[in-house]
Homo-oligomer: A and B are copies of this chain.
Amino acid sequence: MKIAVWGTGMVGDTIGSRLIELGHEVMMGSRSATNEKAAEFVKKNGSKALQGTFADAAAFGEYIVNCTHGVATLSILESAQATDLTGKVFVDISNPLDFSKGMPPTLSVVNTSSLAEEIQATFPDLKVVKTLNTMWCGLMVNPVMLANGDHDVFLSGNDADAKAFVTEHVLKAFGWADEHIYDLGDVTTARGTEMLLPLWLRVWGATGVGAFNFKIVK
Residues of A within 8 A of B (CB): 101, 106-107, 110-112, 146-147, 150-151, 154, 182-185, 189, 191-193, 195-196, 198-203, 205-207, 209, 211-218
Contacts and interface: CB of A to CB of B under 8 A. Distances in A.
Nearest to A201: B192
B150 A217 contact: yes
A115 to B, nearest CB: 13
List 9 tightest A-B contacts by C-beta distance, closest first.
Answer: A192-B199, A212-B218, A192-B202, A151-B217, A192-B198, A195-B195, A215-B215, A189-B202, A184-B202
Nearest to A146: B217
Q: How many copies does the complex hold?
A: 2
Contact of A206 (B110, B146, B183, B196): B183
Contact of A195 (B150, B189, B198, B214): B198
A218 B209 contact: yes
Given A195-B198, A199-B196, A212 B206 contact: no
B212 A214 contact: no
Nearest to A101: B112
A213 B201 CA distance: 19
A215 B217 contact: yes
Contact of A212 (B183, B193, B205, B216): B216
Given A146-B217, A185-B202, A214-B214, 20 more contacts: A107-B111, A110-B111, A111-B111, A150-B217, A182-B203, A182-B206, A182-B207, A185-B205, A189-B202, A191-B202, A192-B202, A192-B203, A195-B195, A195-B196, A195-B198, A207-B216, A207-B218, A212-B216, A213-B217, A214-B217
A155 B60 CA distance: 48
Contacts of A184: 202-203, 205-206
Given A198-B191, A199-B193, A202-B184, A212 B207 contact: no
A189 B107 CA distance: 15
Contacts of A211: 218
Contacts of A183: 206
A202 to B, nearest CB: 4
A216 B203 contact: yes
